[in-house]
Amino acid sequence: MPILISTTQQGSLDFGARSRWSGGALLALVGVALVTGCGKKAPELAPVQGAVSMKDQPVTEMVINFRPQGDTAGSGGLGALDAQGKFTATDVRGGAGLHPGAYKVYFYPAPASGGAPDDPAAVVAPPSTSKLPKIYLDMRRTPLVADIPPSGGVVDIQIADKPEDSTVVVHGAE
């Protein structure tokens, strides 16, 4: 069967009705592929909580950050340290927990409170009372690494003045 090729009034090529139908089917297939996605699905989030201390005192007024390493799924997570130095990790997309895998762990000061809600400086201004050594505030230099199992767990972090003396212990959930 011959294919009809002509030009439209706008000067573009017209390959006929059969080709338009084929193009529509191809577009529909691409749409289905985009909606359903390709490749394997990311693993489920695992519940993660824990505590951070330094010199046997809870670390407070900080946010703990989990930056994925290697082939760990997701974009990381964080948790606010409370008055006892405890936290519950939240995925950066808002889900409860973290994807299983390895994470670099670092901190930044919790947003300041008491400022005007529309004052950006009130939200991002770090408190000047951080007693953590600066290496733990740097996502590239931090020596802290946590390996989160698929079942999640409790992450206990003891921060020392010397990075080599700091510990991260992950107790798997049962």
pLDDT at residue number 3: 54
- Burial environment of residue 19 by CB neighbours within 10 A (0 to 12, 13 to 18, 19 or more): middle
- Cβ 92 vs Cβ 78: under 8 Å: yes
pLDDT, tens digit, for every residue of 133-160?
999 999 999 999 999 999 999 999 999 9
pLDDT at residue number 129: 58
What band does 29 get if pLDDT is binned at 50, 70 and 90? very low
The domain segmentation of the chain, as residue ranges, is: 6-36, 48-172
- Cβ 170 vs Cβ 151: under 8 Å: no
Which residues, in sequence order, are CB contacts of 84 under 8 Å at separation 6+?
51, 58, 60
Name the CATH topology of 48-172. Immunoglobulin-like (2.60.40)
pLDDT, mean of residues 40-46: 76
Which residues, in sequence order, are CB contacts of 8 under 8 Å at separation 6+?
14
Reduce the DSSP state of residue 141 to 3 states and report it.
coil
Is residue 8's pLDDT more than 90? no
- Average pLDDT of the chain? 79
pTM of the predicted model over 0.85: no
pLDDT at residue number 45: 95
